[in-house]
Structure 1
Amino acid sequence: MSMRPSGPGEIPAETVRVARAAFAKGSLAIRVRDELGPMFRDEDFADLFASRGRPAWSPAGLALVSVLQFVDGLTDRQAAEAVRARIDFKYALGLELGDPGFDFSVLSEFRDRLAGADGGRRVMDGVLVAAREKGLLKSAGRARTDSTHILSSARQLNWLELVAETLRSALNALAQAAPGWLAEAAEPDWFRHYATRAEESRFPKGRARRDEVGLRIGRDGMRLLEEVFATVAPHRLRALDEVEILRQVWVQHFHMVEGEVARRDPKDRPPGMMRLVTPYDREARGSVKRDIMWDGYKVHLTEICEADAPNLITNVATTVATVSDSVMSQSIHAGLADRDCLPGEHWVDAGYPTATQVLAARTEHGVALHGPMAANTSAQSAGPYGLDAFTVDWDQQQVACPGGVTTTQWYPRTDSKGLAVIRVRFRHSECRPCPHRHECVGSATGQRREIMLRHREEHEIIRHSRAEQQTDAWKDRYKIRAGVEGSISQAVGRCGLRRSRYRGLTKTSLQHQLTGAAINLARIDAHLTGTPRARTRTSHFAALCPAEMTLDGAQAGTE
């Protein structure tokens, strides 16, 4: 398909007249068009279309429809029907009342084009640019970020279902690609075991019998792989995605022991960032956060938080589920910098700030990253002989202990996490005569004290942050971060953020960009109509709690 760029144009007079009559108090789509004007241009998406072919429906219009679709939680069919039938949609798109719109399948094709070119960012940027031009985006103040888990579009599988479905998926793909070859290679029992979905199978309840079924599936899958990779098999079968997924899952869960297929021990399996959890979403990963276990992805939402402007979402970052929050700050700040939305203060929860991230935010972007710094949990972290009791002379590269002994044994090293550290050692002759050696070293058999330091700037950041976070002033300022959890709740409840609509990281990321744009339109509309922000919900019983007593304290007192 090709694109013939056209200007935004004026809204037809008859569409304006009917929309004003039908929506005397206005609607979100009408108010957003009146306030922000055309947010997208066809030229912004010109690279997604060929120069020849049948002209496509306006990509600028499709971008707006995609955002309004997420605002109202519509399916593709419902969104296409809204373009044909809803007057406020026609008003926002600048269409004639008799415009027939487009077939619903056009939206899916358009998303494929957007996903392949990171087009979701263009859509979200279009909303932010329009908001900035109208003075609704103020990005130099404060921002806050939080993450939440995203379930894969594929159903979560237990181990037996995973291996059975992986094998069944490969058999279906081979049956379509080479039915004659598979009919000869397949064992008779395979038709009985793998013709229907694993969820419809009645697996045994006993542990021993379930293990037997798992080994039987393992042997069948190994036999199929041997047939596919035999020299007489068609080479094109090895290139099938389902066959490659089968091979990866079998490598991760089975191995050969004395010529027999055996299940791998959990310690012998690859880490979670590599391990497949379903044959139907190759990029989904399993992860755990506190008491939540899920297969899928993770999304990070960043929003501005100023009292006199709508709290617009300025960055959306999607990762696989196993990526830690502690490595995301630099990526988030880079995305904010690209949009010219860097805040002066960035408030996050305890999962994000590390000394490295705080230092990078300050030096590279001029952002003050605030969040609870993880406490030192080592055995020698506190007390009269804790790390803070040692005096560090960074210029002379020496450290003095509380007893007045100074050491110059200063060794730059790398710790187990790959971080640059400094190991400082005291000599045996210095520690042995000390009357406080056992308290300081922390072991009855210890001979000398060793301490581990981060480099100077990071060390000072950690000490300053931990001290500041104990003050009431900082705790009062930190309350602002909690508001971002309301944004996640809004995205989950209004736009279905919790579960991915699509398969794969690229399309899931597109969904989240469109969700961010949709939430921004909803918040701009709420700002225009003066709708107050929702307050934190408090039950009637909780409201009776005395001011000097918190719920946590009341619960703790009963234990």
Structure 2
Amino acid sequence: MSLQTAELGEVPAATTRVARAAFPKGSLAMRIRDELGELFSDAEFAGLYPSRGRPAWSPARLALVSIMQYAEGLTDRQAADAVRGRLDWKYLLGLELTDPGFHYSVLSEFRDRLIAGSLGTQVLDRLLEAADAKGLLKTSGRARTDSTVVLASTRKMNGLVMLGETLRAALNAAAEAEPQWLAAHAPPTWFDTYASRLEDSRLPGGKGKQDELVERIGTDGMIFLKAVYEPDAPSFLRQLATVQTLRVMWVQQYLIEDGRVRRRELKDRPPGAMRVVTPYDTEARASVKRGVYWDGYKVHLTETCEPDSPNLITHVVTTDATVQDVSVLRPIHAHLSERAWLPAAHLTDAGYATAREIVAAREQYGFQLVGPLLRSTSWQARETTGFAQADFTVDWENQQVTCPTGKTNKSWRHSVSRHGTPVIRARFSIRDCRPCPARQQCNRTEHRQGRTITLQPRAEHTALQQARNDEASEEWQKQYSHRAGVEGTISQGVRAFGLRRCRYRGLDKARLQHQLTAAAMNLHRIDAWLTGTPRALTRVSRFAALRPAG
């Protein structure tokens, strides 16, 4: 399939006349076309298509269709039907009234091309550039970021069902690829266990019997893998994705002990970032946040938040569920800097804000990162009578730390933390600490060493102290209160645009889904701004409104 690039051009006169008659007040699609013009050109997607082959449908139009599909929550079939039959969509796309559109499968193929060319971000950025040209994007003020959980498109399974389904998926794939070979190697009992979903059969009750079934599944899987890797077995069976998943899953979940297949103890299994949780989406990961357990991914949305312009999502990051929020902050800043969309103040929650990131934002990009910093978890900080690190005075010029009783450190050593970041460890002499009358408030260990204070580098330490002092001020609280609005963005994405659940399988497809979702949300927000639709207020139930003040 080849691409013959062409400009979309003006909306045909007949399409304009009929669409205006059908929609005298306009519609979202028509207003977007009138305000933002031709958002995309075919030339932007030329690298996605070969030079020879059957002519492709316009990728510039397909990009618009993909965004509108998410804006209205349509399936591929419904979106293709809308291109054929809806006047406002024909107006948006600049099509003749008689244009027959395309087969719905073209949309799936186009998404695959976007993923292969890593153009999902470019689609969102192009929309933002068009909004910026019309004065609708204000990035020089405040921005805010937050994340939410995203459930994988696959069903949730417990450990027993997960193992059985992994083996069943591999058996089904082998049966399709080499039925005669599998029929010759599959014991009759396998058909009773793996012919249908495990959760559809009567699973044994009691932990003991379930453990026996887990070991039996493990043994069957080992037998199957051994047969597949025999020299006389068809070699392409080993390359099947489900067989590779089975091999990885069995390495993670089982071991052979005294000639018997046993399931590994939880502490012997890989960490969550590596552990496969479903055979049907091998990139999904299991995680927990504030008591919420889920299998899937996590999406981070960054938006503007100025009163004199629509709040537009300027960046989207999708990761697996185990990635910490703070790790995506620098990629967000790098992208915004590249596009000249950096804010003056970036509002985040405690999951993103650290002293290190505050310094990096100020020194690398020249803006302020605003967010509450996590408090110390030491017992000294938790108990008001204890001597926490904040109670020690640091003289950076002389590399000296003074404790609340007036003693100074014996050594000053540069080191690294368990996370690999640079730190400074200042240790006090045991001769000073052991006879100290305030020892129980400072160091309760029986080690033969004095108290050790771990400091971040000077710039980060200073930023940490300053940030914690600022948090108590009324000015900081007023500034940070604007971050709460991003919760509404998350809610809108989840409730109106299906942000919580993946439509497709795999991280790349989830990432593209979220980029198109963000573009669709931006279309709605631009349309609301153009039509003067006020932003919704925070909803308060009638009972909650009766809460006494104070």
TM-score, with structure 1 as normaliser = 0.96
1:33-78 CA deviation, whole Å, 9 max, x = no partner? Answer: 0000010000010000111111101000000000011111011010
* Equivalent residue, structure 2, for 1:221: 221
Distance in 1, matches of 2:109 and 2:439, equals: 71
How many angstroms does 1:480 deviate by? 0.7
Distance in 2, matches of 1:45 and 1:493, equals: 32
Identity of aligned residues (%): 57
Aligned ranges 1:12-411 → 2 under 5 Å:
12-381=12-381, 383=385, 385-411=387-413
Distance in 2, matches of 1:386 and 1:76, equals: 59
Amino acid at match of 2:478: D
How many angstroms does 1:214 deviate by? 1.0
Distance in 1, matches of 2:436 and 2:112, equals: 71
Amino acid at match of 1:406: T
* Equivalent residue, structure 2, for 1:414: 416
Distance in 1, matches of 2:479 and 2:549, equals: 20
Distance in 2, matches of 1:264 and 1:433, equals: 49
Distance in 2, matches of 1:402 and 1:131, equals: 57
2:458 is the alignment partner of 1:423:
no
- The answer (yes or no) to whether the contact 2:379–2:386 under 8 Å persists in 1 is no
How many angstroms does 1:404 deviate by? 2.2
How many angstroms does 1:432 deviate by? 3.5
Structure 1: unaligned runs, 5 residues or longer: 549-559
Amino acid at match of 2:256: M
- The answer (yes or no) to whether the contact 2:215–2:261 under 8 Å persists in 1 is yes
- The answer (yes or no) to whether the contact 1:2–1:51 under 8 Å persists in 2 is yes
How many angstroms does 1:431 deviate by? 2.8
Please, which moves more after superposition, 66-75 or 449-458?
A: 449-458
Q: How many residues align?
A: 548
Amino acid at match of 1:418: G
Amino acid at match of 1:367: F
Equivalent of 1:459, from 455, 458, 461?
461
Amino acid at match of 2:161: E
- The answer (yes or no) to whether the contact 1:311–1:523 under 8 Å persists in 2 is yes
Distance in 2, matches of 1:331 and 1:352, equals: 12
How many angstroms does 1:430 deviate by? 2.6
* Equivalent residue, structure 2, for 1:438: 440
Distance in 1, matches of 2:440 and 2:126, equals: 64
* Equivalent residue, structure 2, for 1:504: 506
Distance in 2, matches of 1:149 and 1:385, equals: 38
Distance in 1, matches of 2:145 and 2:52, equals: 44
* Equivalent residue, structure 2, for 1:472: 474
Please, which moves more after superposition, 173-182 or 298-307?
A: 173-182
How many angstroms does 1:416 deviate by? 2.1
Amino acid at match of 1:410: W
- The answer (yes or no) to whether the contact 2:378–2:388 under 8 Å persists in 1 is no
Distance in 2, matches of 1:6 and 1:23, equals: 28
How many angstroms does 1:498 deviate by? 0.7
Amino acid at match of 2:7: G
Equivalent of 2:538, from 536, 539, 543?
536
- The answer (yes or no) to whether the contact 1:379–1:442 under 8 Å persists in 2 is no
How many angstroms does 1:188 deviate by? 0.9
* Equivalent residue, structure 1, for 2:6: 6
Amino acid at match of 1:435: P
* Equivalent residue, structure 2, for 1:491: 493
State the secondary structure of the residue aligned to 1:189.
Answer: helix
* Equivalent residue, structure 1, for 2:521: 519
* Equivalent residue, structure 2, for 1:555: none
Distance in 2, matches of 1:215 and 1:307, equals: 61
How many angstroms does 1:428 deviate by? 2.2
Structure 2: unaligned runs, 5 residues or longer: none
How many angstroms does 1:429 deviate by? 2.4
How many angstroms does 1:402 deviate by? 2.1
- The answer (yes or no) to whether the contact 2:410–2:429 under 8 Å persists in 1 is no
In structure 2, relative to structure 1, the CA distance for the partners of 1:374 and 1:144 (3 Å cut) is: same
- The answer (yes or no) to whether the contact 2:430–2:448 under 8 Å persists in 1 is no
Distance in 1, matches of 2:448 and 2:388, equals: 16
Equivalent of 2:483, from 481, 484, 487?
481
Amino acid at match of 2:387: Y
Distance in 1, matches of 2:236 and 2:442, equals: 67
How many angstroms does 1:419 deviate by? 2.3
How many angstroms does 1:383 deviate by? 4.5
Distance in 1, matches of 2:500 and 2:402, equals: 53
- The answer (yes or no) to whether the contact 1:149–1:297 under 8 Å persists in 2 is yes
Distance in 2, matches of 1:172 and 1:436, equals: 69
Distance in 1, matches of 2:494 and 2:409, equals: 56
Amino acid at match of 2:376: N
State the secondary structure of the residue aligned to 2:182.
Answer: helix
1:499-540 CA deviation, whole Å, 9 max, x = no partner? Answer: 101110001100000001000000000000000001100001
* Equivalent residue, structure 1, for 2:548: 546
Distance in 2, matches of 1:119 and 1:400, equals: 55
Amino acid at match of 2:441: E
State the secondary structure of the residue aligned to 2:442.
Answer: helix
How many angstroms does 1:96 deviate by? 0.7
1:245-269 CA deviation, whole Å, 9 max, x = no partner? Answer: 0011111111111000011100000
Provide the aligned C-alpha RMSD in A. 1.4
1:414-449 CA deviation, whole Å, 9 max, x = no partner? Answer: 222222111111112233443323333234777622
* Equivalent residue, structure 2, for 1:553: none
Amino acid at match of 1:438: Q
State the secondary structure of the residue aligned to 1:314.
Answer: strand
Distance in 1, matches of 2:120 and 2:433, equals: 61
In structure 2, relative to structure 1, the CA distance for the partners of 1:535 and 1:114 (3 Å cut) is: same
Distance in 1, matches of 2:393 and 2:156, equals: 53
How many angstroms does 1:2 deviate by? 0.6
In structure 2, relative to structure 1, the CA distance for the partners of 1:504 and 1:209 (3 Å cut) is: same
In structure 2, relative to structure 1, the CA distance for the partners of 1:445 and 1:396 (3 Å cut) is: closer
State the secondary structure of the residue aligned to 2:543.
Answer: helix
* Equivalent residue, structure 2, for 1:551: none
Distance in 2, matches of 1:529 and 1:439, equals: 63
How many angstroms does 1:237 deviate by? 1.4
Please, which moves more after superposition, 375-384 or 272-281?
A: 375-384
In structure 2, relative to structure 1, the CA distance for the partners of 1:19 and 1:219 (3 Å cut) is: same
How many angstroms does 1:403 deviate by? 2.3
- The answer (yes or no) to whether the contact 2:380–2:386 under 8 Å persists in 1 is no
Please, which moves more after superposition, 443-452 or 75-84?
A: 443-452
In structure 2, relative to structure 1, the CA distance for the partners of 1:384 and 1:161 (3 Å cut) is: closer
Distance in 1, matches of 2:464 and 2:444, equals: 23
In structure 2, relative to structure 1, the CA distance for the partners of 1:432 and 1:278 (3 Å cut) is: closer
Distance in 2, matches of 1:76 and 1:234, equals: 38
